[in-house]
Structure 1
Amino acid sequence: MHQLTLSDVLADHARSHPQSTAAVDGAVRLSYPELDLRVNRLANAMTARGIGRGDRVVWLGQNSFRVLELLLAASRIGAICCPVNWRQSADELRFVLEDLTPSLVVYEDGVTPGDGWIESGDAYEAFLGAPDPVEGPGDDGLPVLALYTAAFDGRPNAALLSSAALVAHASSLLHVRRMEPEFVFLNNGPLFHVGTMMFTLATLLVGGTNVFIPAFDAIEVCRVVDAEKVTQAFLFGQMIDAVAAANASGKYDLKSLHFVSHSPEWDAMTTVDDSPWCRTKMGGYGQTEVGGMLTFLGLAAGGAGFAGRPSPLVQARLLDAELREVPPGEVGEICARGKSLFSGYFNRPELNAYKSRGGWHHTGDLGRREPDGTLTFIGPSLRMIKSGNENIYPAEVERALKTHPAVADAAVIGVPDERWHQAVRAIVALRPDSTATPAELIDHVRDQLASYKKPRDVVVVESIPKKGFTPDYDALDSAHGGGNYPGQS
């Protein structure tokens, strides 16, 4: 009686919103009953293949309505869906697939398939099974979504989120965003990113419409917003500027887009939204492990702390190394517990024990509670670089650099960049009698990691300064122009 899975949400909408559009993807338009029927067919096909509780299914491709189908079908049978970052290198993808050991991989054209993989077009449609109703496990505490994040040691980890956590987070988000059943969300941001997925699921929860395009393209965003009367899209900073420039002639009607105020040009062609979320510039603090947002600036308009206040369904504490709460005004690690938190990382028992010590999820980020009770995000305790909207973990890039035969040691810092906020700079010590040009080292990283993670430039030094066994990042920043890290003023 007290369970509510994502599958349950869909099944109820099929009854209570029979004429509402659930998903749009090019020529595909699905009502909630039609989506529910397709999810039954997919769930039955997965069951016939022997996929069940706890098994992993992977989507390897760009945005598609099939990602939502896979997630909902996984919920219906107790499996776990993982949309994989299609921008990764072959080495990164190999790691993810070996780590997850999925029972099913659905891939898009252009990917070299493995044994038993299913291509997302005609083969996927042929794979669908009978439309018979599926009686799932009905346990909203089971993990249903896996998103790779947190490359603490140079490799990412799959954060597992349950239906209960995702429904809780969506409930908080739709409240702060003031979403209504007519809400139309454009999935133009990557669905392997919690920033897109959290709105996808909030739109599902409220009975709205999810519209999908493969990836961000300014002109296509304009066209689809006009055609589908989109309420919100995954847009930030330069993406907003690109959309405004693409519609400078006024060819497309973007007034349905109720969005944050950004520039005179943008505000004139959209509708400036007065929800707490948009009025406060979509602010707050979050990470994948908390379902998206832990705190919302929209819950603390005018507050002293620029991360706002916690969602009503979570608790946040600032703890010191002895797990004691620090007083207001002092810096501590942001720790959390509550309804929207993840279930741990897949197959990482030691890391899970460490991150959940004392009964709190330790975010690895530093914060401060202000006198009015609001929170300020200070920055990662484990250093992170923010380039555009992408998080880049130095350890991951350093690991790639150290696989070059000429590299004895390496450290990575972020340097201020007017366009991207930060750019990656590598500091490298070469082995005796070895040579490597900066261009060669940059290409070496590009071959192993997603292109956005590669260094923009490389500085060769005799040795890397250390604090114990780790690089002295403060000394490296001082010597090589580092700065502008997340949370720095």
Structure 2
Amino acid sequence: MTVHRLTLGDVLGEHRRGRPLGTAVVDGDVRLTYPELDERVDRLAGALAADGVGPGDRVLWLGQNSFRVLELLLAAGRLGAIFCPANWRQTADELAHVLTDLTPSVVVWEESEAVEKARGQVPLDARWIGSGDEYEAYLAASPPPAGLPSAEIAADSPVLALYTAAFDGRPNAALLSHSALIAHSMALLHMRQMEDGFTFLACGPLFHVGTMMFTLATFQLGGKLVFTPAYEPTEVCRLIDTEKCTQAFLFGPMIDGLVEANKDGAHDLSSLHFVSHSPEWDAMITVDDSPWCASKMGGYGQTEVGGMLTFLGLGMGGAGYAGRPSPLVHVRILDASGEEVPPGEVGEICARGQSIFSGYWNRRELNEAKSAGGWHHTGDLGRREPDGTLTFIGPRLRMIKSANENIYPAEVERALKTHPSIADAAVIGVPDDRFGQSPKAIVVLKEGASATSDEVIEHVRNEIASYKKPRDVVFADTIPKRGYTPDYDTLDATYGGGAYPGT
């Protein structure tokens, strides 16, 4: 029944009526109230519709953070289309894969050499719009639409696509519906104890679910969203001060950067209610006591569940350091046959509920495997403790966690093997005092071939995003194998691997 429907467009329409004076977004000189944002979204939806965008079509953003990311998401949602903010830091080859895979009808882009090169590689029948003045002209030329099909849009239709880390060598676009995003926002609102007047600073990348989930929770509440193109410590301090931000996307090294940038106390950061980190940081901010912050933002999550599946704030003091599931999902720990394992035994973390994704774009076989038995199979191992809390053990497929980025060895190994001198390669994670882990490559050269560590690292940097490149290269005679795959345990023992997520 339509009386049960709630889409992102409906949420915006309600804010237009209920918060006519409320600031919706701040981005540089741009300040929009909720009615002004609603009017722009309607115009944008009309312009996209005039370009043939309709239900199921894709709209792609290739650029840094901007309030226009939110506008495009909401406009696509009003048409039943799918919006994707892609990782702008990728190489031309990686961006070409996104273009080929997603086949967007409209691309809004920020000029860069990588995007230009990718555009030249992929013949695509799409409307390309510059992310600045051209976007504004595109919107201004569109009259208010006579009528949008928003009333016909199903709440369970996909609206947001986020590319996940490449656990099988190439990334996959996880599709999240209106209802899934709203459900996750409501769970996060509860855990973070977000209240009227909440202001979020989106200084982390909007292609990352960590930034996007707080952006959408703040939007759901009718709070103020402050956008900055990318993390820059002095500017982040200024924005927290001037806009009185309550929350921002920050983790350890970013926080350290803010402490250094504000060591003279030039900016008042006390409006920021955040996690305790260090004496210097705690003195600058207001240490928050919500379950989310008191638990150090703990829990278990992934893009496919909208962000967080479990919250440590629901299980503080328990045996499992991933806490308990969100109130809007339920979790089972299953063995390979799909049977639930008893408490204390390790199995795959599987889930279903209102915030779970709708599958991957254009991945039929993978979707069937991921949803086998009516459960989302996360690909991660966990354990239910005797007190009912959950412990995350680690990925079934080896993953490296460097700072806040997931790096899958399969993707880096694929890039390594495109080097003309490399016969075989494997990648492990080694402990890193600053970033938790860093990738190390073990490389076997072809007979008679030569290469230096610097040459190998530079090659990978040109193939995939720079943060995924190995920081160290070891040359070996052979890669130990288990069947056809590298024997990572032996490689770890031999070359100093460790500090993997969950250990």
**TM-score of the two chains, using structure 2 as the length reference:** 0.96
Identity of aligned residues (%): 70
The separation in 1 between residues aligned to 2:273 and 2:441, in whole angstroms, is: 41
In the alignment, which residue of structure 2 is the partner of 1:200?
215
Deviation (angstroms), 1:181: 2.3
Deviation (angstroms), 1:95: 0.5
The separation in 2 between residues aligned to 1:21 and 1:75, in whole angstroms, is: 21
Mapping of residues 24-63 of structure 1, within 5 Å: 24-63=26-65
Deviation (angstroms), 1:274: 1.1
Q: Which amino acid aligns with 1:134?
A: L
Tell me if structure 2 keeps the 8 A contact 1:40–1:130.
no
Tell me if structure 1 keeps the 8 A contact 2:351–2:377.
yes
The separation in 1 between residues aligned to 2:364 and 2:149, in whole angstroms, is: 31
Mapping of residues 449-488 of structure 1, within 5 Å: 449-488=464-503
In the alignment, which residue of structure 2 is the partner of 1:130?
143
SS in 1 for 2:127: coil
In the alignment, which residue of structure 2 is the partner of 1:85?
87
The separation in 1 between residues aligned to 2:267 and 2:159, in whole angstroms, is: 38
Q: Which amino acid aligns with 1:255?
A: S
In the alignment, which residue of structure 2 is the partner of 1:212?
227
In the alignment, which residue of structure 2 is the partner of 1:350?
365
The 10-residue stretch of structure 1 (260-269 or 72-81) with the greater mean CA deviation from structure 2: 260-269
Deviation (angstroms), 1:107: 0.8
Mapping of residues 284-433 of structure 1, within 5 Å: 284-433=299-448
Deviation (angstroms), 1:404: 1.0
In the alignment, which residue of structure 2 is the partner of 1:101?
103
1:60-82 Cα distance to aligned partner (Å, 9 max, x none)? 00000000000000110000000
1:251-279 Cα distance to aligned partner (Å, 9 max, x none)? 10111101111111111111111111011
Q: Which amino acid aligns with 1:375?
A: L
For the pair 1:179 / 2:194, whether they are aligned, the reply is yes
RMSD: 1.0
Q: Which amino acid aligns with 2:454?
A: A
In the alignment, which residue of structure 2 is the partner of 1:252?
267
Among 114, 127, 130, which residue is 1:116 paired with? Answer: 127
Tell me if structure 2 keeps the 8 A contact 1:409–1:428.
yes
Tell me if structure 1 keeps the 8 A contact 2:334–2:349.
yes
Deviation (angstroms), 1:432: 1.3
The separation in 1 between residues aligned to 2:169 and 2:128, in whole angstroms, is: 28
1:322-343 Cα distance to aligned partner (Å, 9 max, x none)? 1111111111110010000000
SS in 1 for 2:401: strand
Deviation (angstroms), 1:126: 1.3
Q: Which amino acid aligns with 1:487?
A: G
Tell me if structure 1 keeps the 8 A contact 2:423–2:445.
yes
Deviation (angstroms), 1:212: 0.1
Q: Which amino acid aligns with 1:279?
A: A
Deviation (angstroms), 1:440: 1.1
Deviation (angstroms), 1:284: 0.3
Tell me if structure 1 keeps the 8 A contact 2:165–2:407.
no
Tell me if structure 2 keeps the 8 A contact 1:4–1:138.
no
The separation in 2 between residues aligned to 1:461 and 1:411, in whole angstroms, is: 10
Deviation (angstroms), 1:108: 1.6
SS in 1 for 2:13: helix
The separation in 1 between residues aligned to 2:462 and 2:260, in whole angstroms, is: 33
SS in 1 for 2:425: strand
Deviation (angstroms), 1:109: 3.4
Q: Which amino acid aligns with 1:48?
A: A
The separation in 1 between residues aligned to 2:411 and 2:227, in whole angstroms, is: 31
Tell me if structure 1 keeps the 8 A contact 2:165–2:406.
no
The separation in 2 between residues aligned to 1:159 and 1:43, in whole angstroms, is: 23
Tell me if structure 1 keeps the 8 A contact 2:299–2:309.
yes
For the pair 1:14 / 2:28, whether they are aligned, the reply is no
Tell me if structure 2 keeps the 8 A contact 1:259–1:272.
yes
Deviation (angstroms), 1:110: 3.3
1:361-395 Cα distance to aligned partner (Å, 9 max, x none)? 11111111111100011111100001111100000
Give the unaligned 5+ runs of structure 1: none
Q: For this pair of structures, how many residues does the alignment match?
A: 488
Tell me if structure 1 keeps the 8 A contact 2:270–2:285.
yes
For the pair 1:149 / 2:164, whether they are aligned, the reply is yes
Tell me if structure 1 keeps the 8 A contact 2:305–2:356.
yes
1:92-111 Cα distance to aligned partner (Å, 9 max, x none)? 00101110000000012335
Among 277, 286, 292, which residue is 1:277 paired with? Answer: 292
Q: Which amino acid aligns with 1:338?
A: G
1:28-66 Cα distance to aligned partner (Å, 9 max, x none)? 000000000000000000000000000000010000000
**TM-score of the two chains, using structure 1 as the length reference:** 0.98
SS in 2 for 1:117: strand
The separation in 2 between residues aligned to 1:240 and 1:446, in whole angstroms, is: 26
1:280-318 Cα distance to aligned partner (Å, 9 max, x none)? 111000000000000001111211110000000001110
The separation in 2 between residues aligned to 1:483 and 1:150, in whole angstroms, is: 20
The separation in 1 between residues aligned to 2:11 and 2:394, in whole angstroms, is: 36
The separation in 2 between residues aligned to 1:241 and 1:122, in whole angstroms, is: 35
1:210-251 Cα distance to aligned partner (Å, 9 max, x none)? 100001111111000000000000011111111111111111
SS in 1 for 2:366: helix
Deviation (angstroms), 1:138: 2.6
Q: Which amino acid aligns with 2:357?
A: F
